[in-house]
Structure 1
Amino acid sequence: MSVATASPARRGRGARKAARETRDFAMLPALRRRLPLTEPMDDSQIARIDAASMDILENVGVVFRDPVALEDWRNVGADVRGETVHLDRGLVRALIKTIPESFTIHARNPANSLPFGKDHSIFVPMTGAPYLRDLDDVRRNPTLEDLANFHKLSHMLPALHSSAHHIVEPYDHPISQRHLRITYSSMKYSDKTFMGMTTSPKNAEDVLEMCALLFGAAYMETHPVVTGNINGNSPLVWDETMLGALRAFSRRNQPVLCSPFVLGGANTPASVAPSVAQLNAEALSALAYTQVIRPGAPAIYGHYLSTVSMKSGAPMAGTPEISLMNFMIGQLARFYRVPWRSSNTLGGAKTFDAQAGYESAMTLNAVLMAGANYIWHSAGWNEAGMHCSMAKFVVDAEMCAMGYRMAEGIRWDDFDEAMNAVRDIGPGGHYLGHAHTLENFQRAFFMPELFDNNSIEQWQAEGSVEITERGLRHARALLQDYQEPRLDEGRDEALRDYIARREREIPAVDALNQAH
């Protein structure tokens, strides 16, 4: 995908330099939340969910479709019957107790390393979209260049703390080798944290070898540098592919998100509290397994939450039950003293319309008030994850910045000076020229760059530009101003050599009928 070129008068070298100097691309620190959390369950209800989940683990069991995992469970004394593992609650509690409640996720630029867990939160872009809506708002198959552009935007948008991994699927590269190019793009075009592909155990190993080239193998033994996601097959199944990837990450002391995939009413009971009890059992079983592999390895209580329309069977986003489940899961993660992941700014709309905005805002507020630590899918998600929208990507990132500011809480550091201004101005005056206003106006109230708050006359005079086009213009401008963060030449060469060797070794196998 080529970036649209504006007129030389507007986008010359001098104009780009001026834009860079006036726009702040510095990443916001990890959010430290200072607002009270929404916690709808009392202690007896938390205990009830916990007891129900432990009953599932002990008496229903969880299927581990992987002979290695089954043997691992036997070795620690679990009750293994065929592929079903029955876990004693005492064993589960002892295992998850060794998961760190907080740790630091390290970036190749140390300034972008992130404290993680407890009252800290980070925003991570969406991943996995088979389509994109591009800089012309055309829905099509993505390419490696499209993926690179999303990684560049992730690097430049202050509220995003990660370049993730396959934000969109690059269809112009063989699927069997794709994980190598995706990982390299994440590493090269941003110096923030990133995610690693877990599409197979061997792909996970490749990612970790590339991380060892970038950071050093010994460094990784004591420093988390990449996160991987392990999806469960709800209800109550973990498969060989995901478990092999989990082992690869946990053995190298790298955190995994242990994520049941909830379609409420389809693969969980059609009720909020029982759905959470099942999800909790699934998550705990995988969290416990990470500690079987390596006690003390970082791990993250994960999930993907959706509810299913009882009319059509379609997954829905932004529903009130999803918010309620997020509140409950936050309480449970804190009960077990483990960090947790949720999903953000999810939309089911087919375009970047009011539905997409409402659904996304509903979820954003809920995950912040629930106290999520790893806030994934924070930019671009629409059409139930089937496409990533360039316009929505940058607007979502601004929404995250707004949520960040809200969750920071009330500032009191200028209270006395502001009260002096009240005495100075008195009745009937205005504060626009007062010294306190001049000193504080830039930080006093969040001023969105992409939302239009002018009069309708001014908006019409400026072309009646709506939010999708404003987002696309902003994305184009950012990509014009992008400056690649320097990657050490020796490490870059080692990464490229590794990719070249592995691409010689891995047959170039493509999925059938990729161009949909």
Structure 2
Amino acid sequence: MADTSTRRSGGRAARRAARAAPASEEARSIRPGMSGGFYKPLSDSQVKQIHEAALVALEEIGLADAPQSGIDYMVKAGAIYGEDGRVRFPRAVVEDALGKACRDITLHGRDPKYDLHLNGDRVHFGTAGAAVSMVDVLGKEYRDSTVQDLHDAARIVDRLDNVHFLQRPMVCRDIADNREMDYNTIYASCSGTTKHIGTSFTEPDFVADALEMLHMIAGGEDKWRARPFVSNSNCFVVPPMKFATEACEVMERCIEGGMPVLLLSAGMAGATAPSTVAGAIVQAVAECLAGLVYVNAVRPGHPAIFGTWPFGLDLRTGAMTGGSGEQALLTAGCAQMHSFYGLPGGAAAGMTDAKLPDMQAGWEQMCSNVLAGVAGLNMVYESVGMHASLLGFCHESLILGDDMLGHAQRVLRGIEVDDTTLALDQMREVCLGGPGHYLGTSETLARMESDYVYPALGDRTSPKEWVEVGKPNLVQKAIERKEEILSEPSAARLDPALDMALRERFNIHLG
């Protein structure tokens, strides 16, 4: 028998070399903004039932605790302010806001190649949250999160192909002054990535400093307004059915400053939202419709993401559970409601209740991320790195999550069926006098990058090869990748003259 080991080895080496060479964006099997929407947990009639229930809730229950400025805006738009202090919304007022709402939003990156186009069922995955702790995977401990941790997370996100945006994933607990924490969050994020950034503000008066910093980074207010590369994640409601007074005032300042807003309703099913999946979605939809009226009363057509973020609850303990099957259904159902309204929307997926990047984390993250993607969710927040039901963030999990999101997006892409992919010509060539296999054929080689996703850290070696290369551990590989990324200068670092000007104007804590 002829020795074919050399030929096989050479073929394998060639294939590995081909995979190591980065594919062009056009040739990649997956990319930001692929379309989902083919998973529909709700029937058409159920979607309409949820819509009708939300309208009834807005007409009969309304929302309390709006700031006076918000009351003025919404009443002028046709809402009714009652003696009980609640703002109620007639159906016609909601429908008018839906008619004015922005339906095609571009979330800009500082680098235009990272622009995110939110419309239809286009899907994007990214980070989010306000974790107060960092996961130490070696010590298996949690510690306070810092501004350096945030900057490092931004630098890592900048290098990950399948994480499309950075929404601030943790709080800078080493900065005691909230004003300084807010603008240092922007500085740490912008100096770490040129992808789109989302953040929040503690008080309305802190928005001005942030906008001044953003104008400096953009090169002027006009350039900022033309391409706002930071959006405001705004928890404008305190469920159930109450406005968050200060957050609403923050939102008004951000709208005036030309900053896109995420209308974020984060009720907890069984605690601050109804315990049923359908009821939690109804309340979230009602609250976000109220927010839509508010935004379009301030400035018609201002970019606002419909952020229904209902969370699950473990009814045995009262603890939040982000990694449950119920959470995956909540998120997918919300995506379907966004599609019903034709509005750019976002929700949370990819959270895990696991404390470390282990098997539990893997199955919980994949379940909700896949469902969110195939449901057509425009912005999948919290998709990587978030542990302990949003209390802890993990750099290593962020890196491992890039592989996981690659697989999720390959599922999202689905199966193409045409004359070429049916492959009858290949079958004839291979089976009728050909080699009897498809290895090495031109068609197979041509499809290596365009059809297949390869994990960067995931292990596909045989047991023998695994032993030969030292039995690599996934977490250790993630640590090494993190250290490699952070050992190199940030590609997003600010121009030295600009950086000096920012440090002269603001108290920058990042060394």
Q: Which residue of 1 aligns with 2:195?
A: 192
RMSD: 2.7
Render the CA deviation track for 1:457-480: whole Å, top value 9, x for unaligned: 332343333332232222222323
**Structure 2: how far apart are the matches of 1:37 and 1:482?**
41
Are positions 1:404 and 2:404 aligned together? Answer: no
Give 3-state SS (helix, strand or coil) of 1:372's partner.
Answer: coil
- The one-letter code sitting in structure 1 at the alignment partner of 2:89 is L
Q: What displacement does 1:482 show?
A: 5.0
The verdict on how the C-alpha distance between 1:300 and 1:125 changes in structure 2, with shifts beyond 3 A counting, is same
**Structure 2: how far apart are the matches of 1:24 and 1:342?**
31
Partner of residue 163 from structure 1, selected from 139, 162, 166: 166
Q: Which moved more, 1:155-164 or 1:461-470?
A: 461-470
Are positions 1:87 and 2:96 aligned together? Answer: no
Partner of residue 117 from structure 2, selected from 115, 130, 134: 115
Render the CA deviation track for 1:412-436: whole Å, top value 9, x for unaligned: 6892795443333217722222222
The verdict on how the C-alpha distance between 1:244 and 1:455 changes in structure 2, with shifts beyond 3 A counting, is same
**Structure 1: how far apart are the matches of 2:253 and 2:330?**
30
1:118·1:339 contact (CA, 8 Å) conserved in 2? Answer: yes
**Structure 1: how far apart are the matches of 2:267 and 2:39?**
21
TM-score, scaled relative to structure 2: 0.87
**Structure 1: how far apart are the matches of 2:53 and 2:421?**
52
Q: Which residue of 1 aligns with 2:7?
A: none
Q: What displacement does 1:447 show?
A: 1.6
Q: What displacement does 1:453 show?
A: 2.2
**Structure 2: how far apart are the matches of 1:276 and 1:61?**
16
Residues 452-467 of structure 1 correspond to what in structure 2 (within 5 A)? 452-467=459-474
Are positions 1:277 and 2:282 aligned together? Answer: yes
1:133·1:387 contact (CA, 8 Å) conserved in 2? Answer: yes
1:380·1:393 contact (CA, 8 Å) conserved in 2? Answer: yes
Partner of residue 151 from structure 2, selected from 142, 148, 153: 148
**Structure 1: how far apart are the matches of 2:265 and 2:246?**
14
Q: What displacement does 1:388 show?
A: 0.8
The verdict on how the C-alpha distance between 1:412 and 1:211 changes in structure 2, with shifts beyond 3 A counting, is farther
2:285·2:308 contact (CA, 8 Å) conserved in 1? Answer: no
Give 3-state SS (helix, strand or coil) of 1:152's partner.
Answer: helix
- The one-letter code sitting in structure 1 at the alignment partner of 2:52 is A
Q: Which residue of 2 aligns with 1:7?
A: none
The verdict on how the C-alpha distance between 1:72 and 1:329 changes in structure 2, with shifts beyond 3 A counting, is same
Q: Which residue of 1 aligns with 2:33?
A: 32
**Structure 2: how far apart are the matches of 1:486 and 1:262?**
37
The verdict on how the C-alpha distance between 1:414 and 1:440 changes in structure 2, with shifts beyond 3 A counting, is farther
Q: Which residue of 2 aligns with 1:77?
A: 78
Q: Which residue of 2 aligns with 1:59?
A: 60
Render the CA deviation track for 1:348-400: whole Å, top value 9, x for unaligned: 01122211111111111111122111111122001011111122111112211
Render the CA deviation track for 1:321-367: whole Å, top value 9, x for unaligned: 22332232222222222110011211001122211111111111111
Q: Which moved more, 1:319-328 or 1:96-105?
A: 319-328
Are positions 1:480 and 2:487 aligned together? Answer: yes
The verdict on how the C-alpha distance between 1:387 and 1:277 changes in structure 2, with shifts beyond 3 A counting, is same
The verdict on how the C-alpha distance between 1:254 and 1:112 changes in structure 2, with shifts beyond 3 A counting, is same
- The one-letter code sitting in structure 2 at the alignment partner of 1:430 is H
Give 3-state SS (helix, strand or coil) of 2:167's partner.
Answer: coil
Are positions 1:430 and 2:437 aligned together? Answer: yes
**Structure 2: how far apart are the matches of 1:47 and 1:437?**
46
Gaps of 5+ in 2: 1-16
**Structure 2: how far apart are the matches of 1:441 and 1:144?**
40
The verdict on how the C-alpha distance between 1:333 and 1:439 changes in structure 2, with shifts beyond 3 A counting, is closer
Are positions 1:48 and 2:49 aligned together? Answer: yes
Give 3-state SS (helix, strand or coil) of 1:150's partner.
Answer: helix
Are positions 1:230 and 2:234 aligned together? Answer: yes
Q: What displacement does 1:22 show?
A: 5.2
2:306·2:338 contact (CA, 8 Å) conserved in 1? Answer: yes
- The one-letter code sitting in structure 2 at the alignment partner of 1:470 is K
Q: Which residue of 1 aligns with 2:248?
A: 243
Render the CA deviation track for 1:99-118: whole Å, top value 9, x for unaligned: 11112222221222222222
1:344·1:364 contact (CA, 8 Å) conserved in 2? Answer: yes
**Structure 2: how far apart are the matches of 1:450 and 1:22?**
13
Partner of residue 470 from structure 1, selected from 446, 468, 477: 477
1:220·1:252 contact (CA, 8 Å) conserved in 2? Answer: no
Q: Which residue of 1 aligns with 2:131?
A: 129
**Structure 1: how far apart are the matches of 2:378 and 2:122?**
6
- The one-letter code sitting in structure 2 at the alignment partner of 1:464 is K
Q: What displacement does 1:294 show?
A: 0.6
Q: Which residue of 2 aligns with 1:510?
A: none
Question: Percent identity of the aligned residues?
Answer: 24
**Structure 1: how far apart are the matches of 2:93 and 2:132?**
40
Partner of residue 386 from structure 1, selected from 391, 395, 406: 391
- The one-letter code sitting in structure 2 at the alignment partner of 1:473 is E
The verdict on how the C-alpha distance between 1:174 and 1:459 changes in structure 2, with shifts beyond 3 A counting, is same
Partner of residue 365 from structure 1, selected from 370, 373, 376: 370
Q: Which residue of 1 aligns with 2:454?
A: 447
Give 3-state SS (helix, strand or coil) of 1:157's partner.
Answer: coil
- The one-letter code sitting in structure 2 at the alignment partner of 1:402 is H
Give 3-state SS (helix, strand or coil) of 2:267's partner.
Answer: strand
The verdict on how the C-alpha distance between 1:437 and 1:474 changes in structure 2, with shifts beyond 3 A counting, is same
2:284·2:309 contact (CA, 8 Å) conserved in 1? Answer: no
Q: What displacement does 1:491 show?
A: 4.1
**Structure 1: how far apart are the matches of 2:135 and 2:299?**
41
TM-score, scaled relative to structure 1: 0.86
Q: Which residue of 2 aligns with 1:306?
A: 311
1:269·1:275 contact (CA, 8 Å) conserved in 2? Answer: yes
Give 3-state SS (helix, strand or coil) of 1:237's partner.
Answer: coil
Q: Which moved more, 1:150-159 or 1:241-250?
A: 241-250
Q: What displacement does 1:410 show?
A: 3.2
The verdict on how the C-alpha distance between 1:235 and 1:23 changes in structure 2, with shifts beyond 3 A counting, is farther
Q: Which residue of 1 aligns with 2:215?
A: 212
Give 3-state SS (helix, strand or coil) of 1:263's partner.
Answer: coil
Give 3-state SS (helix, strand or coil) of 2:243's partner.
Answer: strand
